[in-house]
Chains A and B, each alone.
Chain A
């Protein structure tokens, strides 16, 4: 089982690096803004002044800008490819961290580890983002690093100052890449608070570690927040929004609509443009917005691409439903037994915070085409979803152990069907 896990990780690494050298950077999410930001930062050391992605912290763009400079120096035709390569490596490092995380939380459950890794690799949202010139993969890496460190701190337990400092640093750096990582900060701090309240025997060490983590996580991004506050009167996202109250900006159908049957039969724009769940689902498991298989030169998907998208919508269903079941089970356990297995709370609470954050954002800034519901906005939660899937898969397999082989064969077959979609094309 361990060999299979490493084989999946190795294959994912090859595909991610290959995609970064094939996928046209300009086709990615907000590519023009991202490239301009990185170039301007590298050339002139200037942040955007109220234009483009000015509200996005400069962490990734500093890395991407340096990569573009290096690419120029090397005489590459597409110097931005080095930035894409950095993202591919960030995604590969995230898979390795995910393996560490599930090993820490569920030691010895190798099928759980394998299932979690397979989920992460097969879910296209991770591979798609890894091929782009975009901040999300780096924020996912830093967020997952924070989860691993927090789990290490709680499982061992290891309350040394060094561990707390590095955890605080990873949370601080994550905020310097993408504001979405704020929910990782919230989840880690909340889990540490709960642990401090429920572990009476080492409360003092936990409180000290918590204080160090909180202070470092606040100090590292403080200059960025101060700059945003001074320039735009907002620390996170200073864009104007409709004047009406937030709860009346979207109809009820936006929250409860499942987009049936188009979520399977027509899983691409402009289907169900005013419904949250189907857009998030088909963008995560397919290419709703047209950034991976269609959209740049072909304004609507060709019949072959439509077939691929329908296939991916079907492949994603068992993965998603099992991940959902695993998440709910972990969440239920967390609520009923807050003092036990505190490390599991990390993967139970992160998806909840991510969904709540994206729903709030999509509601606050309604757009007619669903642009504020991108699956990649929840990328930092994908490793946690993967862990939830692994937990449910292994739980079901253990319960129905006579069908173990059938579970594994089903997982392999579903994954093989989804694999071709993970390969980027140079023309879309």
Chain B
């Protein structure tokens, strides 16, 4: 003989299920509201602040680089240990891939100088791979 739940249990379980459903709904609504409003500094602003304040690097707007300038999250230029780098911040992984592809189509030995990390695309100035410390400096200020 298999025992079944006592009717009194259902009273508590029903309230608990309703509470859990409310909790899930509140999280979903909270997320939708959060997503629909701008909040806090953008990835570009945080990257710029980090490079200036923590790495003490010069930060300038990107010029003569239409691909980086087209990034929906913005772009900036800086110089790490003598090697210039353009940072283009995409709004999605797909956009980051598209930016990288656009750079590859330009040729100019781009494969060594181009890096994609999440939604951030880095293009280094010198025609060789960036050194580990140059790369790490930029990764320390990686926001997306």
Contacts and interface: CB of A to CB of B under 8 A. Distances in A.
Contacts of B28: 260
A367 interface: no
A45 interface: no
Interface residues of B, number: 20
Contacts of B23: 324
A302 interface: no
Contacts of A327: 16
Contacts of A108: 1-3
Given A260-B28, A325-B17, A399 B10 contact: yes
Interface in B1-60: 1-5, 9-10, 12-13, 15-17, 19-20, 23-24, 27-28, 30-31
A332 B30 CA distance: 26
A333 B20 contact: no
Contacts of B16: 324-329, 332, 392
A332 B20 contact: no
Most buried by A among B2, B9, B30: B9
A398 B10 CA distance: 9
Contacts of A398: 4-5, 10
Interface residues of A, number: 29
Contacts of B15: 328-329, 332
Interface in A355-413: 391-392, 394-396, 398-399, 401
A106 B5 CA distance: 9
A107 interface: yes
B143 to A, nearest CB: 11
B3 A329 contact: no
A273 to B, nearest CB: 12
B49 to A, nearest CB: 16
A312 to B, nearest CB: 19
Given A258-B27, A325-B20, A109 B13 contact: no
A326 B17 CA distance: 8
A14 interface: no
25 contacts: A1-B2, A107-B3, A108-B2, A108-B3, A109-B2, A109-B4, A111-B2, A258-B27, A260-B28, A260-B31, A324-B23, A325-B13, A325-B17, A326-B13, A327-B16, A329-B9, A329-B16, A332-B12, A392-B13, A392-B17, A395-B9, A396-B13, A396-B17, A399-B10, A401-B4
Interface of B: 1-5, 9-10, 12-13, 15-17, 19-20, 23-24, 27-28, 30-31
Given A391-B9, A399-B13, 8 more contacts: A109-B2, A111-B2, A258-B31, A326-B13, A332-B15, A392-B17, A395-B5, A401-B4
